[in-house]
Amino acid sequence: LKKNANLQFREEFLQLHPTDQAEIYAKLVKEQRQNLYEMINPEEMADIFQALELQEQKELILELDQHYTSEMINHLYTDDAADLLSQLDESAAHALLKAMDLEDANDVKELMAYPPKTAGAIMTKEFISLASSHSAQQVIEQLREEAPNAETIYYLYVVNEQDQLVGVVSLRDLLTAQSNELVQNLMSSRVVSVDSDTNQEEVAKMIKKYNFLAAPVVSSDGTLLGIVTVDDVIDVLEDEATEDLGEFTAARGATDINVSAFQSAKLRSPWIVLLMFFGLLTAGVIEQFEETLNQIILLAAFIPLLMGSAGNAGTQSLAVVVRGLALGTLEKKGLFRILLKEFSTGMMIGFICAMTLLLIIPIFYGSYMVAVIVGMSIFCSLSVATIVGATVPLIIHKLKIDPAFASGPFITTVNDILGLLIYFTIATSLLHYL
């Protein structure tokens, strides 16, 4: 009876989409998982594993026995197998590679040898390649045989005898062609490909630009090495967005929710401490103007307001430029126009803020003098802040320096120092006048 129930469960479970199977699997307790391993063969398990997150794969693979594991890894796509094995410690990865089929193991080793975040590292070897001399009908027959093992069959790549990429034909074109038409007449020979050492972000941009479902990866002599598929590209784009936000907040590598508190502090504190050292410069600036401050202590009350407003205006400009760089819309517009635009925007916002403060400060703090100093300062520092916010990322992009230095916190610190200099210079000169 129990066996019957198991069989029925198995059948219903396997009808689910692998993503849903993985979701259920990850929620099971250990005993239930052990039950599942007896019902599901390694090939079926490979589909489930592919749909898990890397972190989950890493944890769960340890409870499988060696034989089951190596069988399963044989059935993973090479890119997924390489990702998983590079998460394990070296001896475990080595043992699994030895237990795998020789050909699959060699493919996986090849991918693991490419530098991370390159086309070579994220590509898969399960692509379909055709001979240009075959007919449409012959290709369809080839597909029937090879389709189960290919990651996509919708783009078919044509190679010559030296395995060099010479063309591409879509399954759509193949299907609508006459069955005796030759591949060489159907294929497009202007095939867009990427080198194996191309950065993954470039690959993603290219696939996005052309609306491709996959892109071929070639070696320096044009040999077809593998393909990058659109689902991998979506993951790359998400990763890059996470990275951008991390850099924007000087929290690189630490926005991952799986990192421990200690790890997170280790990754984040260097930035906070470094920025604090810059912050010590602001303390130095204020100390220089201690005499001015002694005469009107109320000036101290508006330091955070001024710093905050300049910081916000600068970060807005930064966001405009960072997105413009990421989407490639900036170059089209011309850099000078962008800077001029940001400066104008800064002046307009500064003017509005200044007018508001000229009205409010006398009412609540009773000092026209301070209102004028703060109003003039906010106008100047907001104009400067937008320029700083827009210029710094552009310079850093041109000079190819670490983009973390263009992050919000760095720009805010620079704007803090400039803003304080503006504030106390205006205050000191006005005090001299009186």
280-309 positions binding its own copies, by CB under 8 A? 280, 282-284, 286-287, 290, 293-294, 297-298, 300-305, 307-309
Out of 7, 8, 9, 16, name the contact with its own copies by CB under 8 A.
16
Q: How far apart are CA 414 and CA 133, in angstroms?
A: 64
The footprint of its own copies on this chain (CB under 8 A) covers a number of residues equal to: 116
User: What is the contact mask toward its own copies in residues 18 to 47, using x (rule: CB under 8 A)?
Assistant: -x----------------------------
Identity of the residue, 113 or 300, whose beta carbon is nearer to its own copies in the bound complex: 300
Out of 258, 400, 432, 433, name the contact with its own copies by CB under 8 A.
258
Nearest-CA neighbor of 292 among 136, 128, 428, 184?
A: 428
Q: Tell me: does residue 75 bind its own copies (CB under 8 A).
A: no
Residue carrying structure tokens 């396997």: 14
Identity of the residue, 70 or 152, whose beta carbon is nearer to its own copies in the bound complex: 152
Q: How far apart are CA 407 and CA 317, in angstroms?
A: 12
Identity of the residue, 95 or 230, whose beta carbon is nearer to its own copies in the bound complex: 230
Q: How far apart are CA 373 and CA 371, in angstroms?
A: 6
Contact range with its own copies by CB under 8 A, out of 93-101, 157-165, 193-201, 413-421 = 413-421
DSSP state of 398: H
Identity of the residue, 60 or 275, whose beta carbon is nearer to its own copies in the bound complex: 275
Secondary structure class of 158 (helix, strand, coil): strand
151-210 positions binding its own copies, by CB under 8 A? 153-154, 171-172, 175-176, 188, 190, 192, 208-210
The DSSP bridge partners found for residue 42 are none
Q: How far apart are CA 58 and CA 81, in angstroms?
A: 11
Q: How far apart are CA 39 and CA 60, in angstroms?
A: 17
Q: What six digits make up the tokens of 431? A: 């005090």
Nearest distance from residue 230's CB to its own copies, in Å?
6
Out of 24, 113, 272, 401, name the contact with its own copies by CB under 8 A.
272
357 close to 374: Cβ distance less than 8 angstroms: yes
5 close to 13: Cβ distance less than 8 angstroms: no
Q: Is 217 exposed, middle or buried (0-12, 13-18, 19+ CB in 10 A)?
A: buried
Q: Which residues contact 132 (CB under 8 A, 6 or more apart)?
A: 158, 160, 166, 167, 182, 183, 184, 187
200 close to 236: Cβ distance less than 8 angstroms: yes
Nearest distance from residue 92's CB to its own copies, in Å?
25
Identity of the residue, 119 or 251, whose beta carbon is nearer to its own copies in the bound complex: 251
368-387 positions binding its own copies, by CB under 8 A? 378, 382
215-254 positions binding its own copies, by CB under 8 A? 230-231, 233-235, 237-238, 241-242, 244-246, 248-251, 254
Identity of the residue, 227 or 353, whose beta carbon is nearer to its own copies in the bound complex: 353
84 close to 73: Cβ distance less than 8 angstroms: yes
307-346 positions binding its own copies, by CB under 8 A? 307-309, 311-313, 315-316, 318-320, 322-324, 326-327, 329-330, 333, 338, 340-342, 344-345
User: What is the contact mask toward its own copies in residues 95 to 134, using x (rule: CB under 8 A)?
Assistant: ----------------------------------------
Identity of the residue, 51 or 93, whose beta carbon is nearer to its own copies in the bound complex: 51
End-to-end CA distance of the chain: 99
Q: How far apart are CA 292 and CA 429, in angstroms?
A: 10
